[in-house]
Amino acid sequence: MDQDNKKRFMERIEEKSENLPWYVVEYIDKRKRILSPASLLNYCHDYIIFFDWLIAEGFVKGTRKDVPLEVLEKLTRQQVEDFLSFLEFKLHNSDLTVNRKLSALKSLFHYLQNIAETSELEPYLYRNVMAKMELNNIKEDQETIANRMEGKILRGDEYELFRQFVAYDYGVQNQENKKLYNFHQKNCERDTAIVSLILGSGLRLSEVIGLDVDDIDFKKFTVRVIRKGNKEQFVYFSEQAMLDLKEYIAIRTERYQLEKNFKALFVAAPMGPKGTTRRLTARSVEKLVEKYATAFGKPALSVHKLRHSFATRYQMENNDIPKLRRQLGHTSVQTTMIYTHLTNTELQDAVKKMDQREKDE
């Protein structure tokens, strides 16, 4: 993540923190060296939901900033269960999302009990109810996840067909609609470069939008990214991605009316009275992929599924989990192992052969 983008994240974190209790602000400040700005911002959102719930349930009168430590210390397991039920049934959060928010609270309460201390060297909390709470048991195994993912990714010829669709066919398909056609003509090189880069590297959405022009090394076919945990890594990308990136960069400055020192790689068209150009946002990339995917006839395809598509293809052609794990930036090898299920066609072929033998007999 470049310094400008990081600065924007930190400004939003400070803005959210202003309305949280002092001990939460202290915790967030202490975690800035460890957690990425994106993770810290997510934590802020999670804490806002939690403290708003405490106020709505009558645990304290006033604002979020008024919630004292004593309220947290006296929370019971049942009350926390009620909050988790609120997340699931009122906010319609999935088990994974509930787990993430519970993990954020566990981290905060752990800090208050085991790390923070008063001037008298006493902990902020003596009792930590969150330590008693268990995360949801996600029942899906890797093969179930792989099977569910199977129909939502690109396979075989679809990789190049989708790239070609973004680059050319979408415009041809919408020639009669001047607005759509002109918008595609203006942005087709950029959009193709984005799709091609993800399909040719497996980068995360946050990593793509955080790229600067100087992060690309065309000689080594690598891109510099800041991965989870603020770790710098140089990730390889495909030759096709390189060609599409070069084509985009060749028109980027003039097409988007950029100053020569404008760092962001992927940018939005100038908007507003002053015609200000800005870095493309995550939501903008999500929307453009959704647009092309729907028109392509594969509406379930998303930015994340493009990453999965790369990983599936890589594992199919290389069968090397350790290298794929590094390429994707996975912390756990178990996450990467999903792709062994996606690419394991031998079992299916064996079953088909058994069926054929039965018919022959």
| Residues annotated catalytic, as ranges | 204, 228, 304, 307, 330, 339
**First-to-last C-alpha distance (Å) of the chain:** 62
Instruction: Give just the sign of the alpha carbon dihedral 259, 264, 269, 274.
Output: negative
Q: Which two tokens stand for residue 190?
A: 């950029």
Per the CB < 8 A criterion, the answer to whether 73 and 125 are in contact is yes
Per the CB < 8 A criterion, the answer to whether 82 and 66 are in contact is no
* DSSP code per residue over 289-347: HHHHHHHHT-TT--HHHHHHHHHHHHHHHH--HHHHHHHHT-SSHHHHTHHHHHT--HH
Phi, psi of 175, deg, nearest 5: -60, -30
CA distance 118 to 269: 51
CA distance 198 to 355: 39
CA distance 314 to 317: 5
Q: Which two tokens stand for residue 287?
A: 């929307």
Using alpha carbons, select from 308, 295, 299, 294 the residue that is nearest to residue 199.
308
Per the CB < 8 A criterion, the answer to whether 190 and 266 are in contact is yes
Burial class for 79, CB neighbours closer than 10 Å (0-12, 13-18, 19+): middle
Per the CB < 8 A criterion, the answer to whether 174 and 214 are in contact is no
